[in-house]
A and B are shown apart, each in its own frame.
Chain A
Amino acid sequence: MAYEFEQPLLALRERIDSMESELKNGAPDDVAQELQSLRADLERQTGDVFAGLSPWDRVQLARHPQRPRTLDFIRYAFTDFVELHGDRHFGDDLAIAGGPARLDGTPVMVVGHQKGKDAKDNQRRNFGMAHPEGFRKAQRLMLQAEKFRLPLFTFLDIPGASPFLADEERGQAWAIAENLLAMSRLRTPIIVTVIGEGGSGGALALGIGDRVLMLEYGMYSVASPEGAASIVWKDAKYAPEAAKSLKPFADDLQALGIIHRIVPEPPGGAHVDPHAAAQTLKSALVEELAALRPLPLATLVERRYAFYRSLGVVAP
């Protein structure tokens, strides 16, 4: 699956792939030369296409069905992961995945929203729209991280918290609020990464940390562009306008001081080379953790507080 703006790049990539296999089977030298020029073409065209992306294209990119998910990043950037299940009160929410793992040899705790890979997987995982029991499972893992002095890594990728009556009955708002409180005072380093779609309160429920990173083509927004359009424009069809006005992209949010660092993605986006995307993210996470580790926990929590306390713009 590819979006319209990806089509020319996809065709080029396919040609490059087939020439590469030809070369392996002993094709003549001129094929190697052509391949080189095609690669240069792809690089240039990718640069052109991505420089000209509209806000709506960028929304599509953040939601790309082939984009690597939390479990992909855990698989590629961490080792020894043990997935833990259940909130010990109601059930197990597959829209949240997490457990202990190692980052570059160091034991850590990881937890993130988990969208599905295909229709069937998405049905099990409610399209990544976490239920109250998912947020409560996440909180259980956060408190474990604190207890065992494990640095906490969270990954944000959620269209929005699950919006059904059953979620209301089980206290969706209460579950999110309790996570905000827990993360605000958690005595262990927290590094948050927006990997895809950071949608609203359901994203923030895993989103309070000492450092907030964002993949280059992720988005992070108070509401989906469709939701914002229905509220402000009274019609969801104005979603592309809303996407522009909301300033939900990594460069916008870094300029506004909402996030701390942008993690570059491979040319064409993380889904073109999930492995490379995970390696870049891993280096960033290792670096961030090394910078936080020497800080006394009291200083860490104090600094975290100061960051969130400062957010908002009022006059006078």
Chain B
Amino acid sequence: MQRLFRNKERRFGILPSRQRQPDVPDELWEKCAGCGEMIYAAEFEQNARVCPKCGHHARLSARTRVEYLLDAGSFAERDAGMRSRDILDFKRPERSYEQKLEDEAAKSGIGEAVLYGSGAIRGENVVLAVIDTNFFMATMGSVVGEKITRAIELAAATRTPLVIVSASAGARMEEGMFSLMQMAKTSAALTRLHEAGVLYVSVLTDPTLAGVTASFATLADVIVAEPQATIGFTGPRLIEQITHAKLPAGTHSAEFMLERGMVDCIVPRSDLRRALARLISLYAPQAPAAGADGVPHAGTLN
């Protein structure tokens, strides 16, 4: 299946031509983190921030991701103003958690590390949540957990397929156990989505680690990964720190995880929209709907 969605003619094809806001408007050239080549920034943006030389998938902001994935003008964002609070009164160096949140917001231009809402992909209705590494390295605090949970609930209530584009460096230390409990909350919410028989496609992007991987990001019917994305529980750098040994290259890559049976397919960014639309249409409930005969769903997991 990993080869199914590959665009054979142009592997890193240009996406439908719409005017895009470049992520780095002031830079004319950008260095590819994959091959180190200098790329003309406009070309990089045109190519969905995939290096035209080596195919490296650079990180995308959540807004840009929404623009690439959804039909133009279809996105209705929800709970955009939701913010975290310094509930633990966490004593941290230099600046308070609240100050740090403000600085992260100023730096990234977004209020928290996730956004969600409803929209359409090639005419198929979806509930979409996207996590953004530009805010606090996409660490999971109460807002990430709450918005993901609300996205799951919205999908279940409206029986609309759910797509979550995940990324995360780990837990939000400043929220302590409330951060950990977001794993429990999102996973619990997914039991209801699965019982309702609604499709959930998880898209793992670079990097998806720790509590996000160990909860909602892997509890999906179909797990899609972006090429070369770092995926796992304990990240490669942390393993190297703990073991004092260098890991071979590529240990946590999407390709590594595919080989070990942990993800369903790797889809290049240029094909993601098409791949998602195809999956949603394939998994659309048949008439009469499964479960309509009163037989409960066996569930898609376990």
Contacts and interface: CB of A to CB of B under 8 A. Distances in A.
Interface of A: 143, 161, 163-165, 167-174, 176-178, 180-182, 184-185, 200-201, 204-205, 207-208, 220-223, 228, 231-233, 238, 241-242, 244-248, 253, 256, 258, 304-305, 308-309, 311-316
B190 A181 contact: yes
A160 to B, nearest CB: 9
28 contacts: A161-B233, A165-B239, A171-B260, A171-B261, A171-B262, A172-B232, A176-B215, A180-B215, A181-B219, A184-B187, A201-B210, A201-B211, A208-B188, A232-B173, A238-B93, A241-B91, A245-B176, A246-B90, A246-B176, A248-B176, A253-B177, A309-B188, A309-B189, A313-B142, A314-B83, A314-B146, A315-B82, A316-B83
A173 B214 contact: yes
Given A181-B187, A309-B189, A256 B214 contact: no
Interface stretch (B36-44, B67-75, B125-133, B178-186): B178-186
A36 to B, nearest CB: 43
Q: Which 6 residue pairs of A and B lie closest in terms of their CB atoms, listed nearest first?
A: A312-B142, A180-B187, A173-B213, A173-B233, A184-B188, A176-B214
Residues of B contacting A: mostly: helix
B256 to A, nearest CB: 8
B298 interface: no
Contacts of B238: 163
A181 B193 CA distance: 11
A237 to B, nearest CB: 12
A200 B182 contact: no
B247 interface: yes
Contacts of A207: 184
Contacts of B170: 223, 231
Contacts of B251: 165, 168
B49 interface: no
| A168, A181, A231, A308 pick with most chain B CB within 10 angstroms | A168
B10 interface: no
A180 B184 contact: yes
Given A169-B260, A245-B90, A311 B184 contact: yes
- What class of interface size applies to chain B in its complex with A? 35 or more
A180 B177 CA distance: 16
Contacts of A201: 180, 183, 210-211, 214-215, 233
Contacts of A258: 177-178, 181
Contact of B91 (A163, A245, A311): A245
Given A173-B233, A181-B302, A222 B85 contact: no
Contact of B218 (A177, A238, A309): A177
A314 B171 contact: no
A172 B92 CA distance: 30
B242 interface: yes
A256 B85 CA distance: 14
Interface string B155-182: 0000000000000001101111111111
A278 B238 CA distance: 37
A168 B185 contact: no
Given A169-B260, A223-B171, A232-B92, A177 B243 contact: no
